[in-house]
Structure 1
Amino acid sequence: MILVAVGVFVIGIGFSVLWSFTSSKLFPAYDFVGLAQYQRLWKDDRWLISVNNIWFFGLMSIACNMAFGYVLAVFMDQRIRQEDLFRSIFLYPFAMSLIVTGLVWQWALDPNLGLQSALRNFGWSSFTFAPLVNAETALYGLVVAGIWQGSGVTMAIMLAGLRGIDSEIWKAARVDGIPTWKTHLFIVAPMMRGTLATAFVLQCVSVVRVYDLIIAMTGGGPGIATTMPAVYVIQLITVRQNVGQGMAAATMMLLPILVVLAVGGLFRWRSRMRQEQI
Structure 2
Amino acid sequence: MLSHNRAHSVDAAGPLNPSTGPVAKRRSFRNQFEAILPKLVLSPTLIVTLVFVYGFIAWTTILSFTRSRAFANFKWAGFTQYGRVWEHPRWHVAVTNLGIYASLYVVLCLVIGLALAILLDQRIRSEGGLRAIFLYPMALSFIVTGTAWKWILNPGLGLTKLFHDWGWSTFQFDWIINDDMAIYTVVIAAVWQASGFVMAMFLAGLRGIDQEMIRAASIDGARMPSIYRRIIIPQLRPVFISALVILVHLAVKSYELVIALTGAGPGYATELPSTFMYSFTFTRNELGMGAASAVMMLCTVAAIMVPYLYSEMRPRRTAGGH
Question: What band does the TM-score fall into relative to the shorter chain?
Answer: over 0.9
Q: Which stretches in structure 2 are left out of the alignment for 5+ residues?
A: 1-41
Q: Which stretches in structure 1 are left out of the alignment for 5+ residues?
A: none
- What percentage of residue pairs aligned between the two structures are identical? 37
89-98 or 124-133: bigger deviation: 124-133
Equivalent residues of 2:214, 2:231 under 8 A apart: no
Aligned residue number for residue 53 of structure 1:
97
Aligned residue number for residue 181 of structure 2:
137
Q: State the Cα distance separating 1:5 from its structure 2 match.
A: 4.5
Matched to 1:21, the amino acid is F
Cα distance in structure 2, aligned partners of 1:93 and 1:155: 12
Aligned residue number for residue 253 of structure 1:
297
223-232 or 9-18: bigger deviation: 9-18
2:112 to 68, 86, 110: 68
255-264 or 89-98: bigger deviation: 255-264
State the TM-score, normalized to the length of structure 1: 0.93
Aligned residue number for residue 25 of structure 1:
69
Matched to 1:231, the amino acid is T
Q: State the Cα distance separating 1:181 from its structure 2 match.
A: 2.8
Listed one character per residue, the Cα deviations across residues 10-55 of structure 1 (whole Å, up to 9, x for unaligned) are 2221211121111111222222210000000000000110011011
Listed one character per residue, the Cα deviations across residues 232-269 of structure 1 (whole Å, up to 9, x for unaligned) are 11111110111111011011111221111233245447
Cα distance in structure 2, aligned partners of 1:270 and 1:100: 39
Larger radius of gyration: 2
Aligned residue number for residue 231 of structure 1:
275
Matched to 1:46, the amino acid is R
CA shift in 2, pair 1:27/1:186, >3 Å = farther
1:88-127 equivalence runs, <5 A: 88-127=132-171
1:208-223 equivalence runs, <5 A: 208-223=252-267
Q: State the Cα distance separating 1:182 from its structure 2 match.
A: 3.2
Cα distance in structure 2, aligned partners of 1:151 and 1:275: 34
1:184-223 equivalence runs, <5 A: 184-223=228-267
174-183 or 19-28: bigger deviation: 174-183
Matched to 2:297, the amino acid is M
Aligned residue number for residue 46 of structure 2:
3
Listed one character per residue, the Cα deviations across residues 119-175 of structure 1 (whole Å, up to 9, x for unaligned) are 112222211211111101111111111110110111111111111111112112212
* Higher RCO, 1 vs 2 (CA within 8 Å, ≥6 residues apart): 1
Cα distance in structure 1, aligned partners of 2:237 and 2:55: 32
